[in-house]
Copies of this chain bind each other. A is one copy, B any other.
Amino acid sequence: MDTTGWNLKPMDAEQLRENAHKMVDFIADYYKTIESFPVLSQVEPGYLRNLLPDSAPNRPESLQTVLNDIQAKILPGVTHWQSPNFFAYYPSNSSVAGFLGEMLSAGLSIVGFSWITSPAATELEMIVLDWLAKLLKLPDEFLSSGQGGGVIQGTASEAVLVVLLAARDNVLRKVGNNGLEKLVVYASNQTHSALQKACQIGGIHPENCRLLKTDSSTNYSLSPDALNDAISHDLAVGLIPFFLCATVGTTSSTAVDPLLVLGEIAKNNGIWFHVDAAYAGSACICPEYRHYINGVEGADSFNMNAHKWFLTNFDCSLLWVKDKNALIQSLSTNPEFLKNKASQANMVVDYKDWQIPLGRRFRSLKLWMVLRLYGLENLQCYIRNHIKLAKLFEELVAEDPRFEVVTPRIFSLVCFRLLPPNNKGEKGNELNRDLLDIVNSTGKIFMSHTVLSGKYILRFAVGAPLTEERHVNEAWELIQDKASPLLKIS
């Protein structure tokens, strides 16, 4: 190929070296200055359209031109998830080890759909998921040595979808395809919206998704009595209960569903029992938090996002199942053009049959590097530090009578709100919405919100790798500062 006119060849080891070194410095400088950016991007919708051309260039541009544009045009539109002042949603950790793993994965650039397309990708994933299952003390049935095993999905949404499909098809094989409209799913109304989306995708009748009411009496965890009642009622009218999703660490308030008793109910009714510990699962590598997943022994599947609070860059959602064949029966394809001896002889795992997409990246590398470059003890220390900082924040809130901590803090999330003055309860939601807007629009910190029992609640989620005690203290001072004038207006 004539490469006159190419600044960069499509691939060239030395050009990769030279330019990637520049990119490393750009990224390292970004982290060095990360506190100087507004955490929540302050741009207006449509801002970028005016800054970029209408069409792709005919001729190549230099990396420096592009880097200048990133600095001037892209970074102002970035919400800085890795900022130490990011307290919104749940964290999505980047780390040096996770970043190195992403680099290597992009460097090798393999597509590991079947074992043969890179045996190391499949085998390292099996091994590392076994490692993590052991750190979490999951039951042996989740290990790859038996009928179960672990797999890396992109997100918890995909994890719950694939197990829902496996459970659905397990039942439909028994009752026939026209049983679909009778299938019923159970979860608390605090369950992540991913479950409803999975039901919609899988063709579960919209009226058969039971999101059972929770309240402060159970700290927003699912009541086994409510579950039993719902199942009994559905059975009585000829419906087929088939799937229960429990959560350890709900998105709104880190509620923990009672796995042990829920698992028994599921077992007694022949229901697939999925446990979503997307956020809080990471904490369970510490012996003192492991009890929150007691009862996981009764689960059919368990999910934890290493990309949330486990220093493994997004995406890396870990799913374990006890019966891999249920997944495979739902999701396998076997076109001629992918057939090969190892697969045909059933000697290997082909992860394409455990997931929605066909192609998949070599994501186990980053998790493996996180585990090796940090080690269990440091990872435990990392989790404990964030929980300690959240506890500090909780204490600061509790000390100020103008605020209340709304639900007991369990992990690294504090749910709190500004109390409406003079018992004007009806103004509480507006007040807190205003406070959140004002605080976030400073760009100094970014928090998010939820609603519990009709109350608008502020969520302060500690978990960014760079967050230190001073950031928590300064965040609290900012919140207090912005609250004072609001209270005067009210």
Q: Give the copy number.
A: 2
Q: How far is the CA of A468 from the CA of B468 in the complex (A)?
A: 52
Closest B residue to A107 using CB positions: B27
Q: How far is the CA of A337 from the CA of B27 in the complex (A)?
A: 30
Contacts of A449 in B (CB 8 A): 336-337, 339
In the complex, which residues 18-73 of chain A have their Cβ closer than 8 Å to any Cβ of chain B? 19-21, 23-32, 40-41, 43, 45-49, 52, 54-63, 65-66, 70, 73
> Digit string of A1-21 for contact with B (CB within 8 Å is 1, else 0)?
110011111111111110111
Q: Name the contact of A202 in the complex, choosing from B77, B201, B333 (C-beta under 8 A).
A: B201
> Digit string of A110-130 for contact with B (CB within 8 Å is 1, else 0)?
110001111111011011101
Name the residue among A40, A109, A124, A356 with the largest chain B CB count within 10 angstroms. A109
16 A-B pairs, CB-CB below 8 angstroms?
A7-B373, A10-B382, A11-B82, A17-B24, A17-B28, A20-B28, A47-B123, A48-B124, A56-B371, A77-B120, A82-B109, A102-B106, A155-B358, A165-B201, A193-B334, A203-B203
A99–B104 CB distance below 8 A = no
Q: Is the interface of A mostly helix, strand, loop or mixed?
A: helix
Binds B, one of A131-139, A235-243, A471-479: A131-139
B315–A361 CB distance below 8 A = yes
Name the residue among A100, A200, A382 with the largest chain B CB count within 10 angstroms. A100
Q: Name the contact of A197 in the complex, choosing from B8, B70, B111, B333 (C-beta under 8 A).
A: B333
Q: Does A81 contact B (CB under 8 A)?
A: yes
Q: Does A154 contact B (CB under 8 A)?
A: yes
A336–B451 CB distance below 8 A = yes
Q: Does A489 contact B (CB under 8 A)?
A: no
Q: Does A311 contact B (CB under 8 A)?
A: yes
- Which bucket holds chain A's interface residue count? 35 or more
B100–A19 CB distance below 8 A = yes
Q: How far is the CA of A134 from the CA of B55 in the complex (A)?
A: 7
Binds B, one of A174-182, A212-220, A264-272, A293-301: A174-182
A399 CB to nearest chain B CB (Å): 23
A74–B124 CB distance below 8 A = yes
B358–A157 CB distance below 8 A = yes
Q: How far is the CA of A252 from the CA of B40 in the complex (A)?
A: 47
Q: Name the contact of A99 in the complex, choosing from B16, B47, B342 (C-beta under 8 A).
A: B16
Contacts of A2 in B (CB 8 A): 381
Q: Name the contact of A252 in the complex, choosing from B154, B313, B333, B336 (C-beta under 8 A).
A: B336
B11–A95 CB distance below 8 A = yes
With A56-B135, A201-B165, A206-B177 given, is the CB distance from A155 to B66 under 8 Å? no
